[in-house]
Amino acid sequence: MKVTAKLTKIVICILMIFCLTSCNKRDQAVSVPADNKYITVGFSQVGAESDWRRANTESMKSALSRENGFELIYMDGQQKQTKQIMSVRTFIQQGVDFIVLAPVREDGFSTALQEAKAAGIPVIIVDRMVETENSPFTCFVGSDFRLEGVKVVEWLHAYAEAEGIDEGTLNIVNVQGTVGSSAQLGRGDGLLYGVEKYNWNLLDQQVGDYTQTKGKEVMEAFLNTYPELNVVYCENDNMAFGVIEAIEESGRKVGTDIKSGDILVLSFDGVSETAKNLVKEGKIACIGECNPHHGPRVSAIITSLIENRNVEKLSYVDESVFAFSDIVKKINADGQVYDIVNLGEQKAPEQTSENE
């Protein structure tokens, strides 16, 4: 009898251990919500201030879609850093899997990023950059804004040379993007690089905040103050639209014939057909392209991170330069040669295999 009792006890203990471990397994299985089949991504966008921004939002939404396995929580920062910081903190409380931040300006996000890190949530910075020292983020994908600016100023220099324009007569005004944003800081650096290298006259710099309305206001003031101005360095297309309105309403002419009194407009983005048509007309002489299509890159980065594959800390999108004519065919920016994409005249149709 004793042996049987002992054996029974052993069997019960074994059964209990089995049940406990399998229950735990079942508990662990239940602790992961059954509907958690999507990767949740909290995206804090700058706002909706420009065509570029709307294209960027569209790219992110179509890439981070449910069909692609994502649950996207989109928050519009309305160009206010306080709203974006609040969004990051909300995402942390919601326990999202990833945070994507398009920062309105470089400084001021470090604390919120530290909080996301402490919560174990990877942060991907897109488009504009945050200040890098002690700003913990997993990786960045966006543009090299200084390079964008250098490309445009090198185009202006090459154009002036090709047209026989004395560069000492270039009187430039700068309509700036949002102060403190890396797009504004970088493109502004590009301009100052050209002013110094080619001895241009930089008459003034005022903030247009990337919007058409403010771009027009700034240009109206410039026209009243600087009758000698003949070049406008505009840090995005929507401000350029406002600049062109202001110039034409003032009775001056927008164009590329500076020697005859035209005001030559330079810009950035090149996203909308409106902007490209203005280049064809010569009302915008040159656009430094700014690529808004970050969605697929962010989706690929998230997939790599989930699969524990390495991702580049900083990755930059490829961008070109659009111009109103092919008078300048190539430029050299920071030691790299770039072909100019001529929008002005339709080139001969591409050679096809039949008539090669």
Alpha carbon 219 to chain centroid distance? 25
Cβ 267 to ligand GZL shortest distance, Å: 9
Beta bridge partners of 314: 140
Return the residue matching tokens 């185009």: 155
Cβ 305 to ligand GZL shortest distance, Å: 23
Whichever of 64 and 290 has its CB closer to ligand GZL, that residue is 290
Whichever of 236 and 299 has its CB closer to ligand GZL, that residue is 236
Q: Which two tokens stand for residue 139?
A: 């990786």
Among the listed residues 290, 302, 321, 340, the single contact to ligand GZL using CB under 6 A: 290
Residue 105: CB partners within 8 Å, gap ≥ 6? Answer: 81, 128, 178, 179, 180, 181
User: Site map for ligand GZL, 29-68, x if CB under 6 A?
Assistant: --------------------xx-xx---------------
Residue 84: CB partners within 8 Å, gap ≥ 6? Answer: 44, 46, 75, 77, 101, 103, 104, 109
Rounded to whole angstroms, the Cα distance separating 144 from 149 reads 9
Q: Is 210 in the site for ligand GZL (CB under 6 A)?
A: yes
Whichever of 97 and 269 has its CB closer to ligand GZL, that residue is 269
# of chain residues touching ligand GZL (CB under 6 A): 13
Supply the DSSP symbol for 334.
T
Supply the DSSP symbol for 344.
S
Q: Is 297 in the site for ligand GZL (CB under 6 A)?
A: no
DSSP string of 204-244?
EEEE-TT-HHHHHHHHHHHHHH-TT--EEEESSHHHHHHHH
Whichever of 54 and 252 has its CB closer to ligand GZL, that residue is 54
Whichever of 50 and 171 has its CB closer to ligand GZL, that residue is 50
Cβ 36 to ligand GZL shortest distance, Å: 33
Cβ 277 to ligand GZL shortest distance, Å: 17
Cβ 25 to ligand GZL shortest distance, Å: 48
Cβ 128 to ligand GZL shortest distance, Å: 5
Whichever of 40 and 50 has its CB closer to ligand GZL, that residue is 50
Burial class (CB in 10 A: 0-12, 13-18, 19+), 264: buried
DSSP string of 132-166?
-TT---SEEEE--HHHHHHHHHHHHHHHHHHHT--
Cβ 145 to ligand GZL shortest distance, Å: 7
Q: Is 127 in the site for ligand GZL (CB under 6 A)?
A: yes
Rounded to whole angstroms, the Cα distance separating 152 from 174 reads 13
Cβ 252 to ligand GZL shortest distance, Å: 25
Among the listed residues 268, 322, 324, 338, the single contact to ligand GZL using CB under 6 A: 268
Cβ 37 to ligand GZL shortest distance, Å: 33
Rounded to whole angstroms, the Cα distance separating 166 from 182 reads 32
Among the listed residues 59, 236, 256, 325, the single contact to ligand GZL using CB under 6 A: 236
**HSE-up of 316 (CA within 13 Å, CB side)?**
12
Q: Is 151 in the site for ligand GZL (CB under 6 A)?
A: no
Whichever of 53 and 230 has its CB closer to ligand GZL, that residue is 53
Q: Which two tokens stand for residue 45?
A: 């966008």
Q: How far apart are the first and last CA of the chain?
A: 100
Residues within the interface to ligand GZL (CB under 6 A): 49-50, 52-53, 127-128, 143, 183, 210, 236, 268-269, 290
